[in-house]
Amino acid sequence: MMNRKEKIPVAAVVGPTASGKSRLAVELALSRNGEVISADSMQIYKGMNIGTAKPTAEEMRGVPHHLIDFAPLSQPFSVADYVSLASDCISEVYARGRLPVIAGGTGLYIRSLLQNIRFTENDKDEALRKDLAEKAEKLGVQTLIDELRSFDPASAQRIHPNNLGRVIRAIEIYRTTGVTMTEQLELSRQMPSPYDACIIGLDFQDRQKLYDRINLRVDRMMQEGLLAEAEEILNRPGAQTAMQAIGYKELLPYFRSECSLDEAVESIKRESRRYAKRQLTWFRRDENIHWIMVDEYTDFDGVIEQAFRMIDRKGWER
């Protein structure tokens, strides 16, 4: 049983796609009596298995995993929704005397959760979200970005144009509360976090080694049936969600006979590498992350042992 302290101990494993986060999180959970709480904005959706690299039952190795494979594609899901659910998960895992282990590459989810950025029900408007999504489909996402820039230029600059859900969320917050997302974030940061977090980041000294891993992962996804999975998902209600996800949207031109399969696969690899670069840019801004260079070790066991040492230095009782 972990010692009841004022703050809840939480381990977190972050980093770019294909860096080994899921494996390390499972190892930490197995060795420290923990349960894994996912922080991936696409692994929450049912059916998006291969393309999101959702851990299999074999890879989970009996460790309980939370916030994976529970939402239908048609369900809107915001960072506010994630923080609410993940906070409850952490409390429940800790109440069972176990260590919560956060694992994922969605930086905004992790920062909002661990830095105690809070959201209220008053800033949600499902009808508005639907209207904005339809507007983006008809007129393009740039129309929404221009609207956002008119009252919250900082968010318009910060949010990637491909992240339609985040653009819509920023407009929704302002329209429903009169407070911008930027102002809300600043106010939330003034609240202390309820967590004593040890955040472990995975990276590579030689970036090409990470890119090679990404390329191999995409090849493996294709062998495991990504093409069939994508075709099935893109024909389902809520397919717009999948169209935001790398690994699915790049296959749409192939299904429309606008490119070859090889070209589509190369596009997935290219966009995955770009995404990894964006993830690292995000996480590298966080001074609280303790980094492990995966390619400094001859095998992943060395990475695991280093992570154990980082956790042990926190002095948490198990």
Same domain, 102 and 207: yes
Q: Could you read off the pLDDT of 210-254 as tens digits, one per residue?
A: 999 999 999 999 999 999 999 999 888 777 777 789 999 999 999
CATH number of residue 225's parent domain = 3.40.50.300
Same domain, 41 and 131: no
Query: pTM for this one?
Result: 0.82
Closest CA to 303 of 61, 53, 19: 19
- pLDDT above 80: residue 156: yes
Same domain, 300 and 233: yes
Whether 30 maps to a domain, the answer reads yes
Whether 258 maps to a domain, the answer reads yes
Same domain, 105 and 214: yes
Buried b (16+ CB within 10 A) or exposed e, 255-264: eeeebeeeeb
Q: Could you read off the pLDDT of 52-103 as tens digits, one per residue?
A: 999 999 999 999 999 999 999 888 788 888 999 999 999 999 999 999 999 9
Structure tokens at 186: 């600043």
Q: Could you read off the pLDDT of 196-216 as tens digits, one per residue?
A: 999 999 999 999 999 999 999
Structure tokens at 15: 């980093």
Whether 101 maps to a domain, the answer reads yes
> Using alpha carbons only, what angle is made at residue 57 by residues 54 and 60, rounded to the nearest 5 degrees?
80
289-293 and 65-66 strand pairing: unpaired
Pairwise CA distance, residues 51 & 230, whole Å? 8
Task: State which residues form the domain around 28.
Answer: 8-118+191-312
Whether 3 maps to a domain, the answer reads no
- Using only C-alpha atoms, what is the Rg of the chain? 20
**Residue pair 32/60 in contact by the 8 Å Cβ criterion:** no
CATH number of residue 183's parent domain = 1.10.20.140
Helix (H, G, I), strand (E, B) or coil at 10: strand
Whether 57 maps to a domain, the answer reads yes
Q: Tokens 């893109």 appear where?
A: 234
Pairwise CA distance, residues 24 & 17, whole Å? 13
